[in-house]
Amino acid sequence: MNEKSVGILGLGSYLPEKVVTNQDLEQLVDTSDEWIVERTGIRERRFAGEDEATSDLATKAAERALADAGVGAEEIDLIIVATVTPDMFFPSVACLVQANLKAANAAAFDLTAVCSGFAYGLVVGSQLIRTGMYRKVLVIGAETLSKITDRTDRNTAVVFADGAGAAVLGETSPGFGLIGADLGADGTGGDLLKVPGGGSRRPASAETIAERLHFIRMNGQEVFKFAVKIMGESALKALARAKLAPADITYLVPHQANIRIIQTAAKRLGLPLDKVVVNIDKYGNTSAASIPIALDEAARSGKFKNGDVIVMVGFGAGLTWASSVIKWYRK
């Protein structure tokens, strides 16, 4: 088999302007800056404006990724948007972005794997290029979680936030790009993190609104335990598929859910923290957007050199998890 090597040709991200500090949240719920920093590592986060929806953030991130790649919107064959906060049930955010970008030649769909969504999308997009079906795929992780977070629930209100990140995928130098991956799910853990109302099980009604069922419900402690276990396991599987070991990792780019989860996962993989890309202090947990935002910031800062082994690990509701190993290459 003469399979193509598929890599990241360009990256972009977009964070809404509105900065919300821990002190701002102290005004809304019974919490403190000290608790939030110590238990989560978050100092501030961004919230989208009232008239700003997920497709707006996604479009801006995508425009930056296209510019970074030097690829025109008309060259894109497929747009995948990983999100759980679409502008509306349908049309998909991917279709809205396709229209905004004037990417007339692109197929478009949304992918639901919650915080693992971008990492799932990366694998799906790469495979469609590898097999020769498509040449260029735009994968976007975009969320406006502030719109589905209960501002009276201190368990979630201090954690979730908004942002978008995007990657243009295409053929890369042989032997580089995506060289290993692992995708997984455990639907039996679905109750640990969910938005119970507004879907076909409990359609939106005065009752579902009164019961606040349209907001995120999370069993933080159980999700925490799952996260620290699965991050190491999934990264190891993806590395094994690339015939590599943790010692080969140049940088780990984890989903930014909680600094303590990140630290524990790094420790289990035997990685010093200077090999881990962290920006949770600035942006909080942006679900599907967190990995591409962190990746974009690290790449733009000149951190990555050709040949570096970059491991991304996502985990989240579903439960889901996804890891990918990229041998970095940029012209």
List 12's β-bridge partners, or say none: 166
What one-character DSSP code corresponds to residue 108? E
Nearer to ligand UT7, 108 or 218 (CB): 218
Question: Within 13-72, which residues bind ligand UT7 (CB under 6 A)?
Answer: 31, 35, 39-40
Q: Rounded CA gap, 121 and 96, in Å?
A: 18
Q: Which is nearer to ligand UT7, 35 or 75 (CB)?
A: 35
Q: CB of 249 within 8 A of CB of 105?
A: no
Active site residues: 115, 255, 285
Cβ 81 to ligand UT7, closest distance in Å?
18
Q: Using CB under 6 A, pick the residue from 22, 83, 149, 258 that binds ligand UT7.
A: 258
Is residue 318 a contact partner of residue 185, using CB atoms and an 8 Å limit?
Answer: yes
Q: Residue 148 CB, nearest distance to ligand UT7 (Å)?
A: 13
Cα angle 140, 80, 101 (rounded to 5 degrees) comes to 75
257 binds ligand UT7 (CB under 6 A): yes
Rule CB under 6 A: which of 140-169 touch ligand UT7? 154-155, 158-159
Q: Measured from the CB atom, is 47 or 134 closer to ligand UT7?
A: 47
Q: How far is the CB of 291 from ligand UT7 (least distance, A)?
A: 11
Name which of 10 and 316 has its Cβ closer to ligand UT7: 316
**Interacting span for ligand UT7 (CB under 6 A) from 63-71, 99-107, 254-262, 275-283:** 254-262
What tokens does 291 get?
């990995």
Name residues whose C-beta falls within 8 Å of residue 58's C-beta, 6 or more positions apart in sequence.
81, 83, 93, 96, 97, 140, 142, 164, 166
- Per-residue burial over 168-179, b if 16 or more Cβ lie within 10 Å, else e, is bbbbbeeebbbb
Read off φ and ψ for residue 281, nearest 5 degrees: -60, -35
In the bound state, the residue with its beta carbon closest to ligand UT7 is: 220
Report the C-alpha gap between 304 and 315 in whole angstroms: 23
Q: Which is nearer to ligand UT7, 58 or 228 (CB)?
A: 228
Q: Convert residues 264-303 into a mask of x (bound to ligand UT7 by CB under 6 A) and - (unbound).
A: ---------------------x-x----------------
Site for ligand UT7 in 208-247 (CB under 6 A): 220-221, 223-224, 227
Count of residues binding ligand UT7 (CB under 6 A)?
21
Residues contacting residue 126 through CB under 8 Å, at least 6 positions apart: 6, 137, 169, 177, 178, 181
Site string for ligand UT7, 113-132 (x = CB under 6 A): --x-----------------
CB of 162 to ligand UT7, least distance (A): 14
User: In angstroms, what is the minimal distance from the CB of 330 to ligand UT7?
Assistant: 29
CB 262 within 8 A of CB 203: no
How many whole angstroms separate alpha carbon 324 and alpha carbon 313?
Answer: 7
Q: How many CB atoms lie within 10 A of CB 17?
A: 9
Interface contacts to ligand UT7, rule CB under 6 A: 31, 35, 39-40, 115, 154-155, 158-159, 193, 220-221, 223-224, 227, 257-258, 261, 285, 287, 316
